[in-house]
Amino acid sequence: MDLLGTAIFLAIKSLIFIMGMFLGAAYLTLLERKFAGHVQQRPGPLHVGPHGFLQPIADALKVLTKEDLVPDNVDKVLFYLASLMAFVPAIMILAVVPFGEPFTIFGIEIQPYISDLNVGLLLALAFGSISIYGVIFAGWASNSKYPMIGGLRKAAVLIGYEVALGFALAGPIMMAGSFSLREIVEAQQGMWFIIPNILAFVVVVFCVLAETGRTPFDVQEAEAELVGGYVTEYTGMKFGLFPLAEWYIATFVLSAITVILFFGGWQPLPLLGWLPIPEFLWFFIKVFLLFMFFLWVHWTLPRYRVDQITEMAWKVMLPLALANILIVAVWIIIFG
Amino acid sequence: MAVKVKYVERPQLTNRERILFIDFIKGMGITIKNFFRKTITTAYPFEKLTPPIRFRGTHAHRVKDGKEPPSFKVLERFMDIQEGESRCVGCYMCQQACPVPELFNIQTTQTEDGKKKVIRFDMNLLNCMYCGLCTEACPVDCLIMTDIYETASYHRAGTVIHMEDMTKRAVDFDTRRGNEPDRIWIDDEQRSKLWGQIKWS
Amino acid sequence: MQLWISQGEVESIKGKFPDILEERGDNFTSILINKKQLIELLTYLKEQLNYKMFIDFFCIDYPLHTPRFQGVYLLFNPEKKRRVAVKCWAEDNSLPSVINLWKGAKWSEREAWDMFGVRFEGHKNLVRMFLWEGYQYHPLRKDFPLEGYKDTYLPSLNLKEGETPAHNYDPYHTPLPSMEDLERTEKARIKKKNQIVLNWGPLHPGTHGTIWFLFDMEGEVVQECDIILGQLHRGVEKIAENITYTQFIPYTDRMDYISALCSQVAYVNTVEKLLGVEPPEKAKWIRTMMCELQRINSHLLWLGTYALDLGALTIFLYTFREREKIMDIIEGIAGIRLNSTYIRIGGVAKDLPEGALDVISHFVKDFPEKLKEYETILTKNRVWLKRNVNLGVITEEDVYSYGLTGVVARASGVPYDIRAIQPTDAYDKVDFEIPLGKVGDCYDRYLVRIEEMKQSVEIVKQCVNKLKDMKDDKYISTENPYVLPTLEEVFNSIEAMVKDFNLRIYGEQAPEGEIYLSGENPRGELGFYINSKGEGKPYRLRIRSGAFYNLQVFTELIKGKTVADAVVLLGSLDPVVGETDR
């Protein structure tokens, strides 16, 4: 009976998380479009709802009601599976991301996370790696040259940066002595992990940009070179899931993990602790700022060539991440 | 004047700039500076720029309204044109001047008293380059180009303009903008969004 | 200012080749040689007399003469700054190919084969240039009708039952290529040797128009490349032979639609020189000013799309913001933003409206600051450096061999700028510097274009200062018998009306002769060769397109590079399909 109750409770909570993420991602598109618009001295979406506030809803309706074309000679199973493979792992990372400490309302204890696994970070990395399959499947199944090249490019980039990312995350884990994201946050009471781990942070920023395919690493769908990259042959919602997963959900989730690892999660910003802002709001403010930073980079920089990206991954990012481990190890020896 | 040659400088990225990401930070500084600038766009169909007076849009026929140039008075004697009708004297000069003469379909006829009357003046704007050579060839200030640029149609036949709508368009154009001076443009709200305040002399 | 070969040099050639026939005119000097000695003469010109830069090759059709076709080679001596034309009759409809002397002749020879059906002995792959394999005719021949052979039934798609069509609607169309034809065209250009053949274009965001690239790739590395042009081929040269000189002005706009005013000025200058018309001083200054504005406009579009190709999305909008201002200026002065048709034989179509100089001053005051913003984002950006530096290096030798002009030549250190070599309009009175590169890579081409924009701003400033004092001067020299009168003159004087009628109906009866004159387009040297037989229309009008020759070097540069480099290389060459295809 207890098990059933937990299952129902978890299912409802997951549903809330997923729905929230969907809606959040939809409004992240609006955020990005507005931001990009103003950076380019234009207003962005303006006409659906007040100041374009309902634009994501209109977009979702448009994408959902579009004719769903499947080209001849595609590998149908993989073609359909690919968009799910790209989308589901991205949203599954949410299962281990905590948004705050457990708190009590009306006597019920609410945990603002789905599960507090003791290997949470490993699971997040694992799920992140699965999304490579979506990209490769999309590139392969489309039976077309541009998606093929796009998929291979993305795979090459991801493999390089997954390694660097893994090593970069080792620093905070060493300092916290735990894989559980909640415990990592708790370990940052005195000092945020950004301080000894500054190299790791730089590596992680680059990795997030590379994993989510934002400039300067958006080689997989460099539209001037490859039209749409691996999504060239996709239409309708199948198409919509790729950018949604990659540009919004993945960026958001990875921003959240970065905040947890380096910026003390839901702890208030330094010197602003007296503000009457609840913990989880602090968390979202930090994630939002980091997300905006990624957008800002995206809308400023040109892009690298794919071989330069992989070269950088192996020759710069990986050594930096390893150097960071050394620094952190020395730090731990000296300061305990 | 002597030819002056200048070799362009190739800037190098110093190590300090490379390590501290100075190049990225400077670039991002520019984008965020622009973020706080005012938007400059015109939300067309809801907002519209006033085209300059010289704008070459859809063609129109000026009518006989007493403001004709002297050349019209000379040619008028051979023509059967009532007040308020198109000034066209059927000289075919527009068609002669046009690089794509097939787009014109002009027909004239002789009335019973021996005068000439233009009964048809069609232009197929699908073939038109809007070069304005026809308006420069019109000796009686009849064929003009207006500031109307919304000419889309659902079928090809809809893009052919006829004498009746051309006269109406010219009357409309002259009442709206007939008295404007030959100025590069008149300041309006939309244009000043992009241009800011211009110092007129 | 004339740039033709000196008498002394022709005498020295005569010593070596006694059979040559020199034709020296006011605007053109050519040497006629027989087919057997052609290669020998060209080699002599290239190696001994240093006429090493290939400018153009084209054919002229004389249906009543045997042999029917005449080939004309235009060469340039970059040291002495002299041109020479070599003519040769194509006996048996064929000429020896000169691709071993100049690589740039490859495409122009293919074009001559395509348009005239002249064969070239020794050409490696003599396929059609613009039209597809399987097309039966050679359209620039004099016996090919202007409207073509309408033999394909093609009812309009949106013509519904019972609907009246537009009055000149015709259900028959000139031949269209079928899918098999296109496949044959593709196969004729490139043989698959590696993993995949990537069709990059004709409709692709990276190709800046409708160019069809074929990449034979090993992985992502391009091993072989060929280009299929002609998707925008409209036969402008054929059209020119059938309309008057004035009527052709709108067509020059539509070749290089990004720098329409520059094309107009180059064309009108050529015609004016042929007719002996001297435009008034004010018109010259207006032309120079408009040309430079158009150059900034064109370079801004280039910078925007180039940055867009390289992923910097925001620069694109920033450059378009400034470009929009120039568009507004051109619209206010000429009437239309893009294809302005503003320049006329003998001057300009309309005087500057009031307030024009104020607006232009406002723009040139504002612009350098914006240019600095673009440079801050791009010039020292490490990504930008990584993508541009040492990519696509063009040597000085390549410049001469391929006939590269414009920015591409200048970035390689060749000071070839028509504005300085053969100044037209007011270019001899303005003060400017020619930016040159040292390496010749994409980064140099970027820097040279940025520097050119700065120079253009300076020129515009000088023009504005000059034009402020010329408020009431004449803007078109209507007293010349070849120049169309203005509307006011027609309204008030019967003589002007008669002159207008005559010029409209019969065209400008140009004196018999030949002329080659060029202008410095943002895309390179845009040259016009006009052969007049004393009629109101040109007998032959050849357009030497800078973009056409500059694009040719792309196939060489891309070898061993990836697709990602292709956009950079193509962007840095900056072709406009309207001009390459004509």
Encode pLDDT of C5-40 as tens digits: 878 888 888 888 888 888 887 788 888 888 888 888
- Specify the pairing of strand A108-110 against strand B4-7: unpaired
Residues of B in contact with A302 (CB under 8 A): none
The total of other beta-carbon atoms located within 10 Å of residue C316's CB is 18
Task: Using DSSP, state whether A60 is helix, strand or coil.
Answer: helix
Chains in contact with A, counting 3 or more C-beta pairs less than 8 Å apart as contact: B, C
For chain C, the straight-line distance linking the first and the last C-alpha, in angstroms and rounded, comes to 28
Beta bridge partners of B18: none
Q: How does residue C312 score in pLDDT terms, banded at 50, 70 and 90?
A: confident
Domain ranges of chain B: 59-177
With 60 as the cut, is the pLDDT of residue B182 above it? yes
CB contact under 8 A, C310 and A224: yes
Please tell me what DSSP assigns to residue B63.
B
Q: Which two tokens stand for residue C439?
A: 């390496």
CB contact under 8 A, A224 and C317: no
In terms of CA atoms, which chain B residue is nearest residue C431? B1
Residue type, A40: Q
- For residue A254, what pLDDT is reported? 85
Residue A157 lies in a domain: yes
- For residue B15, what pLDDT is reported? 83
Backbone angles phi, psi at B79, to 5 degrees: -115, 155
Q: How does residue C223 score in pLDDT terms, banded at 50, 70 and 90?
A: confident
Q: What is the Cα Rg of chain B in Å?
A: 26
b or e along C460-475 (b: 16 or more beta carbons within 10 Å of the residue's beta carbon)?
bbbbbebbeebeeebb
Q: Tokens 């081409």 belong to which residue?
A: C445
Q: Which two tokens stand for residue B164?
A: 């009746």
b or e along C134-156 (b: 16 or more beta carbons within 10 Å of the residue's beta carbon)?
ebebbbbbeebeeeeeeeeeeee
CA angle (C536, C540, C543) in 5-degree steps = 115
Chains in contact with B, counting 3 or more C-beta pairs less than 8 Å apart as contact: A, C
CB contact under 8 A, C383 and A304: yes
- Nearest chain C Cα distance for residue A91, angstroms: 28
Tell which residue, A120, A128, A129, has the closest CA to residue A184: A120
- Nearest chain C Cα distance for residue B3, angstroms: 6
Q: Give, in words, the CATH class of B59-177.
A: alpha beta
Q: How does residue C161 score in pLDDT terms, banded at 50, 70 and 90?
A: low
What is the C-alpha separation between C253 and C507, in angstroms, rounded?
A: 20
Residues of A in contact with C313 (CB under 8 A): 36, 215, 299
Number of domains into which chain A is organized:
1
- Nearest chain A Cα distance for residue C568, angstroms: 10
What is the C-alpha separation between C547 and C564, in angstroms, rounded?
A: 21
What is the C-alpha separation between C549 and C437, in angstroms, rounded?
A: 20
The dihedral built from the CA positions of residue A207, A209, A212 and A214, taken in this order, carries a sign that is negative
Q: What is the dihedral of CA B10, B15, B18, B21, to 10 degrees?
A: -120
pTM of the model: 0.89
Answer yes or no: are the C-beta atoms of C199 and C568 closer than 8 Å.
no
- For residue C467, what pLDDT is reported? 87
Please tell me what DSSP assigns to residue B156.
G
A41, A222, A304 member nearest C317 (Cβ) = A41
CB contact under 8 A, B31 and A41: no
What is the C-alpha separation between A298 and A295, in angstroms, rounded?
A: 5
What is the C-alpha separation between C368 and C458, in angstroms, rounded?
A: 10
In chain C, % helix, strand, coil (3-state, to 5) comes to 45, 15, 40
Model pLDDT for residues C461-474, shown as the tens digit of each residue: 888 888 888 887 88
With 60 as the cut, is the pLDDT of residue C428 above it? yes
Task: Using DSSP, state whether C235 is helix, strand or coil.
Answer: coil
Q: How does residue C158 score in pLDDT terms, banded at 50, 70 and 90?
A: low
Q: Which two tokens stand for residue C119?
A: 């064969």
Model pLDDT for residues B143-170, shown as the tens digit of each residue: 888 888 888 887 777 788 888 888 888 8
What is the C-alpha separation between A218 and A216, in angstroms, rounded?
A: 6
Farthest-apart Cα atoms in chain B, separation: 93
Model pLDDT for residues C79-137, shown as the tens digit of each residue: 888 888 888 888 888 888 888 888 888 888 888 888 888 888 888 888 888 888 888 88
What is the C-alpha separation between C360 and C456, in angstroms, rounded?
A: 13
- For residue C255, what pLDDT is reported? 86
The dihedral built from the CA positions of residue A63, A67, A68 and A71, taken in this order, carries a sign that is negative
- For residue C167, what pLDDT is reported? 63
Answer yes or no: are the C-beta atoms of A163 and A318 closer than 8 Å.
yes
Residue A42 lies in a domain: no
A145, A149, A300 member nearest C314 (Cβ) = A300
Q: Which two tokens stand for residue C243?
A: 């309309």
**Mutation target among C154, C331, C446, C537 for the B interface, most CBs of B within 10 A:** C331
- Nearest chain C Cα distance for residue B62, angstroms: 14
- Specify the pairing of strand C94-96 against strand C119-121: parallel
A37, A41, A46 member nearest B43 (Cβ) = A46
CB contact under 8 A, A303 and C198: no
Residues of B in contact with A301 (CB under 8 A): 24, 27
What is the C-alpha separation between C464 and C462, in angstroms, rounded?
A: 5
Q: What is the Cα Rg of chain A in Å?
A: 20
With 80 as the cut, is the pLDDT of residue B201 above it? no
Residues 6+ apart with CB under 8 A from C495: none
Identify which has the larger pLDDT, C19 or C73.
C73
Model pLDDT for residues A148-171, shown as the tens digit of each residue: 888 888 888 888 888 888 888 888
**Mutation target among C198, C199, C217, C220 for the A interface, most CBs of A within 10 A:** C220
CB contact under 8 A, A300 and B28: yes
In terms of CA atoms, which chain B residue is nearest residue C504? B97
Tell which residue, C308, C321, B189, C362, has the closest CA to residue A42: C321
Farthest-apart Cα atoms in chain C, separation: 75
In terms of CA atoms, which chain A residue is nearest residue C207? A224
Backbone angles phi, psi at A44, to 5 degrees: 75, -165
DSSP string, C369-411: HHHHHHHHHHTT-HHHHHHHTTSS---HHHHHHHT--HHHHHH
The residue-averaged pLDDT of C542-561 equals 88
Residues of B in contact with C417 (CB under 8 A): 3
The mean of the pLDDT values for chain A is 82
With 60 as the cut, is the pLDDT of residue C157 above it? no
CB contact under 8 A, A302 and C220: no
H or E element in which residue B81 lies: none
Residue A83 lies in a domain: yes
What is the C-alpha separation between A291 and B37, in angstroms, rounded?
A: 22
The total of other beta-carbon atoms located within 10 Å of residue C100's CB is 12
- Specify the pairing of strand C29-33 against strand C82-89: parallel
What is the C-alpha separation between C62 and C573, in angstroms, rounded?
A: 36
In terms of CA atoms, which chain A residue is nearest residue C195? A145
What is the C-alpha separation between C148 and B26, in angstroms, rounded?
A: 58
What is the C-alpha separation between A43 and C549, in angstroms, rounded?
A: 42
Chains in contact with C, counting 3 or more C-beta pairs less than 8 Å apart as contact: A, B
With 60 as the cut, is the pLDDT of residue B1 above it? no
Model pLDDT for residues A212-244, shown as the tens digit of each residue: 888 788 877 776 677 777 888 888 888 888 888
Q: How does residue B2 score in pLDDT terms, banded at 50, 70 and 90?
A: low
Residue A281, classified by CB atoms within 10 Å of its CB into exposed (0-12), middle (13-18) or buried (19+), is middle
Q: Interface of chain A against chain B, CB under 8 Å?
A: 35, 37-43, 46-47, 296-297, 299-301
C380, C429, C492 member nearest B23 (Cβ) = C380
CB under 8 A, 24+ apart: contacts of A290-293: A290/A255, A290/A258, A290/A259, A290/A263, A291/A28, A291/A31, A291/A251, A291/A252, A291/A255, A292/A35
Residue A43 lies in a domain: no
The residue-averaged pLDDT of B54-82 equals 84
Q: How many whole angstroms from its chain centre is CA C53?
A: 17
In chain B, % helix, strand, coil (3-state, to 5) comes to 35, 15, 50
- Nearest chain A Cα distance for residue B192, angstroms: 14
Residues of B in contact with A299 (CB under 8 A): 31
Residues 6+ apart with CB under 8 A from C482: C275, C276, C277, C345, C346, C503, C508
Task: Using DSSP, state whether C432 is helix, strand or coil.
Answer: coil
The mean of the pLDDT values for chain C is 86
What is the C-alpha separation between C517 and C399, in angstroms, rounded?
A: 20
Residues 6+ apart with CB under 8 A from B164: none
- Start-end of H helices in chain A: 2-39, 55-65, 76-92, 120-141, 145-176, 181-186, 198-211, 223-226, 236-243, 251-262, 279-298, 306-312, 318-335
B24, B31, B40 member nearest A299 (Cβ) = B31
The residue-averaged pLDDT of A274-297 equals 82
Tell which residue, B116, B90, B117, has the closest CA to residue B104: B90
- For residue A277, what pLDDT is reported? 72
Residues of B in contact with C443 (CB under 8 A): 10
- For residue C28, what pLDDT is reported? 84
In which domain, by residue range, is A289 found?
66-95+117-335
What is the C-alpha separation between C134 and C131, in angstroms, rounded?
A: 9
- For residue B50, what pLDDT is reported? 85
